[in-house]
Chains A and B, each alone.
Chain A
């Protein structure tokens, strides 16, 4: 069926040559665009310590806005730690210490005058295990909106909830039971609820720490589709152990090893021709 459709499509399109010329042109335009991309998140010589132990070694990285970036690497390589430095979630660990800069829209988030609470609104986060609050579906979304005083009226609040749920592709599944407990949702729905909750406070960057590792393949696919859609409006950074997932959803991939950023490039380059041997060894499973 699929094959048939494809063939029919082909017959209706322009001749092959015309298409090729067009493609060449487009890819050139893309490349030029890539150069002009605005950098949203930038790490400058970032070191991170848990007490005496150094977990990240002078990370330098520029992540363009409105793109999906995947962090890959073996367990304990520092990818999650690095992700958590981006919204200062590591601050709550007493022994944690950061050196260097993280720039969010050219503003150092570790500068002394930065309001951490507001920073965390701007840089949302979704976790490995879904974390619905023990409240109704509606109140889960409302929580962040109310805390940040984003809605001026009851109607506006309801609109924002609806919009967030729609953006997270959850609205149709829950619109008739908004007052049910969020804990009654399935794992995949809970995870999308958490994404909706994050979207509701209008962040600029969304961090995801292995958002699909506890989900079945179908729920995973839905989240992945969502991530790809989110790229239109947000800068998404996702930590994943699943390399196929990284290759499916991301535009850029960063490979971490032993607290160091080994390689950062367009995903397609990382997965077809990585420059570093360590990257090649990791993604082809030669590691260890």
Chain B
């Protein structure tokens, strides 16, 4: 079996803050890392490989420095990794991203199961997983919290969450799943894994290697365009309540009564 995990290197968004006075982002101390949801995708793939045999290949589309995310993945039990990198890939929206990833997976010789994280924390779109499944013509399920391989039917039995409950689905391989964080606890890299990751040779495939027309990838191949960005402004009628605790609480209760809430 071949398991392919798609990962993304993201800025550590939890530490990106904005300066409301200047209206700018504060990046200090923000490091690039593997998208946290993708760690669960890696773990799910590695666990399944340990159970069934086969290989786990990790791919990412990104700038040359995204290689470090792949090395981190190798330290977590992934067998090999490929970096899809080309200037022409820059500025891709989710549609163009699925085209590049699909070409990468095809060049690998396809996959029995493709694993993705639920979404990436920088874009939060959750669109690449299902889009990639559609492009590769795979059966798929999103937001999986449990997963089991059923040998007799060559199916994955998965638990898929939705707002008010869950579904149990049986999906035939080849398939793609996007996983929730509750599906497993990602392992910590082993010393052996780290050594292997350090030495590993990570091929870099560009548009030419993938046989992709550069007008169909990256910014050129993206139907959506960002026209403006702005820092969100919040307007509030701010009243700081004064006095000791007793007085503050009394004022608050009065205000809430005036508003008809209490």
Q: Do A and B bind each other?
A: no
Chain A positions within 8 Å of B, measured between CB atoms, are none
